Each structure stands twice: as structure tokens, then as C-alpha cells.
Structure 1
Amino acid sequence: MWKKRLAKLWIFVRTHKVRVLVLICILAGGAWYGYTKIKPANTEVKYTTVAVANGNIMATVSGTGQIAEENQVEIKPTSTTTVTSISVKEGDSVKEGDTLMKLDSASATTSIEQAEASFESAQANYNKVLAGTTSAEIEVAKTQVESAQTSVDNAEENYDAVVSLQKTSVSNAYSTLLNSGITSFSSSGNGSGTVPSNTSGSIPATATTTSTGNAIPSSGNTSTATVTISGTYTGTTEGTYKIKITVTDSVYSFTISGLESVTGKLTPDVPVKFGKKGLYLTLSSTGTVVNNSVWTLPIPNTLASNYLTNYNAHQTALQNQNQALVSAQNNIDSAQAQLDQAEAALAQKQESADSASVAAAKSQVVNAKTQLQTAQDSYDNTIITAPFDGKITDIAVKAGDSVSQAASVATIATPEKVVTISLNEVDIPNIAIGDKATFTFDAITDLTVSGSVAAIDSAGTVNSGVVTYTVTLKMDTQDERMKPGMSASASVVTDMSNNTLYVPSSAVKTDTQFLSSYVQVLDSSNTVQKKTVTTGLTNDTSTEIKSGLTEGENVITKTTSASNARNSSSSKSTNSSSNILDGMSGGDMPAGGGPGF
């Protein structure tokens, strides 16, 4: 059936060649299109890098305003404090930098002293790291290692001594326990005088203790002779001796089984050593012995009056041994830990300063210097000086008054031109009186003037929901080309770090999981490494790096990728399709009009 269907299919193909060829081309094209869409193309990743630089970085706040004519400026303190003295009065002419009044400086003086001490300590540590450890310090470290080694040796020797002492103590207590009330008992074969079973380590309440050395004959036992056990049991195994005495023609023999297997002869009233564990057997000459009588000797004798005392003493010896060994081992561990620390400290002192240690010490110096400068600035702010030349028009306080940042303490009028700008409320907390500034002017393109912040309005102005504050800035240079009303742009420096590492801000990323900053570094083998960094100042273009990078490392600022199409594969697939089509043309089929099966 299937051969006939194939034959019909072949006839259809031969009579409709064009349609079949078109259908095959469509199917092949669709397959190739799907292949190129599903299979990913080659992707080449490219990185844009910038080397870590060393230099100065500053944070600034910018604003625009106008040049103003003669102006009156209110002088305000930078903190809430007390006026201690006033050096001017209303109407006095002053020069820039003249002292107007002094504020309480006790707290600021203390801060300076503390900051100076921190800076000196950081500088000394930095110098020490650079110089490396002295030979005297290394010798001290070696002595500490030797002392720690001696402590370990002593602790180990003490441990061995404790082991030996405690072993002897436990052995003696156990020997005493095993020898508790050594005596023989008549067995069940002699009557009812058997030793009761007891595994609890205590004497049964209903049992009768015994401390005699004679056997206890059972009820109805005709043996009247006594068997006495003497000596000291030197074995270390608990168990039982069974003593069987036979009488043949007035000759006494004994057979011992249990802890030891021994046979021998007996002479009344003569002690006979049996076994190898220090015990002796004596048969009395008085009384009679029934043939095959059996006595039992338990080791230890749990019915002895001193058994419980000896048992407790042995348990105490075991506990003391465990506690003593634990304590001795702890002493070894503690001594070894101190030795490890001393050896690590010596190794560290013997190593030369590495770059990471130097960088850390240098960072401490930079931070301490910054803190010192901050403390010095706070102290300088307790001395209120004239921001520029002018005349005192008002003194609003007297010595002893408390003042705050919002209150004016004096007013100064100046004939010099100043620049007034408006700053957003977000920027105001970042600036302070005395901050350095630079000015540029739309009408005088070739002029750049330096200056500083002279005054900051304590009250803002609200316009369309936006709060701004007027800031007055003085200019260090008065140029005759500057006219009142001219537009001016001011850039106020709010913070600065000198001789520090910095990178483009676009290179710094945030790890949201660990709440830390990091950069990607491309090393010499083009391998990308993630490095956690500590950042400092940041401005519109750059970010300070306080730790985590070294100068010259290449940080990645941008990553791009490009896809390459597989043209060669496409060409190969197209050729293959053509060969298939060529193979299906004409009379390549077997004769007879069908497949050659």
C-alpha cells in the first residue's frame, strides 16, 4: 500500500516541478529566518576606561545675580554662643580683616587641641609605617615569642604530670574498691548462704553486710571448717572466684574457676596462694569439710560495709581526673593561642611596609588634617572680622550677650561693589561666610574675579513654591569695567580635598545589597574586577576615592556591545538549499516512474 502512495507522490512531483520547487524555497527560507532569529549573534564587549588620577577636587555651589552699588551688610555669627568682647563702635571705619568682636572660644580651643593631638599621632604612625619596625622592636617581639613558647612547653609538661598523677589516683581508688571486704561466701551448693545479685553499686537494703574473712556456711551445711581469704587483690577486672574443695582419703584439694582457673592441694591452717593476683586461701584445721563444698568470692564484695564508701571514692577520683585533664588541656590551648599571636606579631614586624599599610596610614593623616582644619575654622569663626573696607553703622550687641546664627551683631557699609546672588534652599546649608568664590560676567567675557561669601540672609524668599536666599559676596578685585546691574555668575567652593585620588563620577556604582560603593577595574589582562571603594567629595564630574584604588588603575566608565551577523553561515545554508533543489530535477529517479525499492 505504502509503495503505491510513494509512486503517486513521485508522479505528482514530476508533473508539478515548478510548484514543488517554489514550496521548497519558501520552507527553506522560513527555516533559515527562524534560525538566525533564535540563535544569538556574536557579541563583542568594549570598555571605556579612565585612569585613577591624583590631584585636587572641590565641591561647589553656583548661582547668578547682579553687581550691586554701595551696600550695607549685616554681620552674623556662625554659631550660637556668647559675646566676650567688642573692639569697635558705631561710626568707626574699618579695614578688611579688622577684628570687630570676639565670641566664646573655650569649646573651639579644646577641639583644636584634640585635633592637633590626633594629627600628630597619625603623622607619627605614618612615619613609623614608612620607616618600618626598628631592630629593638623586633627583639622585643622575639622575646615575647620565646616566652610564649616556654609557656606552651610548661603547659604540656604539666599536662603529662596531671595525666600520670590522676591515673595513679584513679588506679588506687579502683584497687581499694575491688578489695572491699574480701571474703568468701558459701554457694548455693552449700545451702542458702549465696551472695545476692546486685548491679546498682549500692548495698541492698535487705542484705546483710559482712567484714569477716570466714565463709558463711549455709543452713544445713555439715561443713564446719572455715575458709579464709587473705592478701590484696592486684587484678583490674571485676568478677567472681568459685572455690570448690574436695576431700579424698583426708587429702584436701581445691579447684578455682571464674576470674582465674587454678587447682591445688590444701594443708589445714597453711595459707596457699592461688592464681597470680595476690590472694591466699586458708582452710581451718578445726571442723569438718563436706566433699565438693563450694565457696564464692565476689570482686568487689558489694555486701561489704566499706563498699559504698570505696565506690563513691572511685567515682570522685574519676571526676577529679576528668576535671584536671580538661583544665590542663585548656592551659595548653591558651598558651598556644598566645604563642600564635606572638609569632604573627613578629612576622608582621619583620615584614617591610606594604602599599596598603602605607595608604591606610596616609589616609589617617589626611583625615586628621581635615579635622584639624575644621577645628581651626571653628576657632576662627569666634573672631568676627570686617569682610571688607567700610564703616560700622550699627552695633546690635554688648559683651556678655548670647547670640545666634540668625541674629545680626553688627552692620557694615561699604563703597565697594559687591555681587548678590540667589541660591536654592538646598544649597544654603552647604555654604558659610568666608567660603571662597569665583565670578564671571556676561558683559566682560575675559574677566574672572576671586572673592568670598560676605553675608547670607537669614530669611528666605518664596516664589512659586521655591525658596531662595540672597547671598552677598565680596570681590577681591574692583575693575572699572564692572557696572552696577551687570549680570554675574558666582561659583562658591564649599569643600576641597588636595592631593587626593579621584575618578569620574560615572565610574562609581552602588551595591544596594551591602550599601557600599564600588568601581569596575580593567586590569592588564583585560579582566574586569569589582573593587569596593570609600568615597569622599563629589561634584558634577568627579568623585574622591579615599580607599580601595591606587593611582593609575583603569576604571570602567562605559560598557558597549556590538553584534556580528553570521554571513558565512547564511551563505553556506543557501548553497546547500540549491544543491538539494538541483538533486531533485529531471530523470534521476529509477526507471519505472517510482522509487527503486
Structure 2
Amino acid sequence: MLKILVQNGQSVKAGQPLMYLDSRDVQKSLRDAQISLESAKLSMAKFIQPADGLSVLQSENSLIAAKESKDKTIDNLNQTYGDAYNSISNAFLNIPAIMTNLYDNIYSYKIGESERSVGSKQTNKDALLNTVSVISDVDKLNILKTNAENDYNSARVKYDTNFNNYKALTRFSEQSEISNLLNETIEDVKIISQAQKSEVNLYDAWIDSRTKQNQTIFSQVLSIKSQLSSDISQLNSIMSSLSSLQQSIKNYQSSIADSERTIEEKTQSLANLKAGPQTLDIQSQQLSLKQKEIALADTQEKLADYTVRAPFDGVVAKINVQKGDSLSSGSAAITMITNQQTVEISLNEVDVSKIKVGQKVNLTFDAIPDLNITGLVADVDSIGTVAQGVVTYNIKISLDTQDERVKSGMSVAASIITNIKQDVLRVPISAVKSNGGGQYLEMPTEDVAETSLDLNTGIILKNPTKQQIVETGLSNDTEIEIVSGLNEGDKIIIRTITSAATKTTTQATSLLQQVGGRAASGGTGGARNFGGAAGR
């Protein structure tokens, strides 16, 4: 609790602040909500504004830059296809010689021709086998020779096919044809490279076998090995160049596809910018703004809860807290009493069904015998209270007159008028009796003098009484309305007293009353008397 604004005995008006609670956290939330709302308003104002010239120009320039980037990539791709054709051409200037060397390394007679001990009639592959003395090495060389022959034959078939395709190609062929030939040439180079490796394996095995036997290494073999090394280096260079061009083509094609998507996006973005915000986008912004407004209103409402206000006009009866105290939910910080005096009573479920707001009430007080005050039913509980199996409902009555003698907590008797009828025929409620056929009154069957009607001791009737069937209406605690079956001036028996004699004879004395005339003003009402307590 931060500050108390009133003191005991002070009169206050409904809604007047009574105390302030510590609201620093809520005030911070309120500032944040206000800033958030202002930010949302600025965003909304900016969003619905038409595109300015600078934004449109920037969007147009961005689209132009994307198109130029695509055009440049296309130029680079075209140049790369030209480079690819040149590299393929250069490859086929060198690959034929490499293929010839591969053939000669296996099938020529150069080893035998250069070494008289071998003989000039043997091919190189046979010369290698026949000049090894270790049987196991011969077997190994035989396998390597077969591998070299097979790999060469595969390379030859691939090379011949690819070379024929190359001869059919021109610099002006379609890019797809150049790309296909590039891919085929790379595959061709891979197969040729494998053939070179197989021949290297064959010659290395021969040299290894001869070296272990301390035999001479033919000079022609060394020359072939040197040529193989040179061809391998040259083929690797060709492979590197062709592979680089193949990757460049793929990269440029991918970049062109990306550029096309970028151009499409920027074209649509420019169109949207010129057209202005879409309806759904505006609605989304409006919804966001509305949410911020609701959040601010909720915070403001929460902040208002940190000011304790008087719920009604009245007087501060007691202050239950001090500055700095911590308050818990449901605790009473200030007790107030109203300026308007009220009475509260409890009714059972039968009686409460007859009570309505606005009905008139007569009130008497045990502590003030000479005081009789009128009032009105102000409130009827909708939900009853159950205690020991009995359901009761609280009724609140507002007093028409404010009397200083009436204090809170005094006992009070309330008579609630549930209905009123004017000019009705009424009799004491004790005179009406009931049987299986309905309600009736007892009436004398003989003449009774008028002077006998006011005797409190009653009179003795000689003849039996008769039962007069009647229809009743409204009633209160003492009287009841007779709707039909009785006329004004009729005599009725209101009470019968029977006294017993010393013997078997009995004697009855009846009290009679003449039915009075119909009221000219005033009337009768259905009224109920109840107890309760006064309050404010």
C-alpha cells in the first residue's frame, strides 16, 4: 500500500479515491504498451502510404541489375563453350599420338630390334615375357600383359567413337552438342589414362624382376618408360583443362537459373510496389494494431485497479491498514457505511417466491417502539444459502426515511406488502375453515340481535350453524378476502367456545361478527411479517 487518502469519519462520494497501491510495475508495463502502440501506428501509416519515387527507382534499378547479371552470365557461358571447343580440339591434337604410343608399347618390335639377344621377330609384350627367368614373375607378367591389352582395346574403341564425333562437330554446333562431346572426351581420357596405368604396371613389373636377378635393363624399355611418363603428364593436363571447363559450364547454367528466379521475384516486387499494399496485408497490419490497442487498454484497466475507490456514497468507518502494509486478495482495507440506511432479512424458499423488487414494506424496531418506517424491496438474492438443510434468501430493503435512532445491527420486523386490492369484502382469517370440498364460513341459522355482536363473551345459539361455502382471495396475517359466497352485512361465527358440564351435557358459546362494508378508500393487501436487522 502506497498512500491513504482519507481518514476515519470522512464522508466520501462514490468513485472517490480512498488509497493508492504500489503500481510501479504496472506503470512500466503501461509505458511499454504505449510505445508498442505508437510503433504499430507508425508502421501502419508507413505501410498504407503509396510507394515513393525513390523506392520505385531503387526497385527498377535492382531489376535491371538482375537482368544485366543474367546477360553477363550468358556471355560467360557462351565464351566457356568456345573455350571448351578449343580445349577439345587441342586434346585431339595430342591424344592420337598418345594412342599410338600405347599401341607401340605393346605390339611394336622395338625392344627386339634394339636388343639382338631378344630377336627382332618378337612384339614388345612377348619380349617382356621371354626375357624373365623366374616362373612366378612370368605368371605375374602374363596377367599384367592381359590387363594392358584389354585396357588398350577398350581405350581404342572409345577413342575411335569419340574422335569420329569430334570430326563431325564444328565451332558453330549447338551448345548441347559441344557439352556432350566435352563429357564424352573426359570419359575417353579417363579410359586412356587407365590403359597407360596398366602398361606402366607391366613395364615396372618386368624391370623389378630383372633387377632382382641382376639382369640388364634394356635401354628401349627405359625409353618406353620415359615416353609413358611424358604421355601421362600430358593426358593429366588435358583432363584438368576439360574438367575445369565442364564445371564452369555447370556453374554458369546454375547462375542463369538463379538469375531467372531473381528477375521473376524482382519483377513481381516492382509490380506490387507500384500497385500498393494488398488488402490482406492491410488487414494483417490493422489486426496487429488492434492487438496493441487492446493490450494498452488491458494495462490501463489493470492500473486502475491499483486505486481503491469508494463503491458508494458513505462514511469511512474504519481504516484497517497503514502506509507500507502488504495487502492480500480478499482482505478489508477500509470499512465504509452507506448514507442510505438499509434493512436485511432472510426468507425461506416458499415466501421468497412472492417477493419482488419495488414492493412496499412497513418496518418496526424492537429498540424503538414508537418508530414505524416504510421502505421498498431493493434486492432479492438469486442464489440461496443452505444451512442445516434449510434454504434461505437474503432480501435487502431501502428505507424511505433516514432516522438517526436506527443503528446498524438493530433487530427489525418487516411486513412486506405483496399485493393490494381496493374495495374488497374481508373477514378475520380465523373464521375461514377448510374441508374436503373447499373453504367455508360458519353462519347462524337463527336471528341474532345486533346488540349481541359486540359482546366479547359471545352468545349461545339455540340452533345448529350452517356451513357457507366461500371463495377466498388475498390475505395477510389477520384478514382474508372473500371473493364470493358472502354478502356485506352477513353474520358469521369467528370463534366457538365449548365448555364441559359436570355431567354429559355440553354447552357451546359462539362469538359472532357482522361482515363489515366494503372499504371506500384504503383496502386489503397480501402482507407477510418477517424479522431482520438494520444496516447501512
- Using structure 1 for the length normalisation, give the TM-score: 0.36
- Using structure 2 for the length normalisation, give the TM-score: 0.40
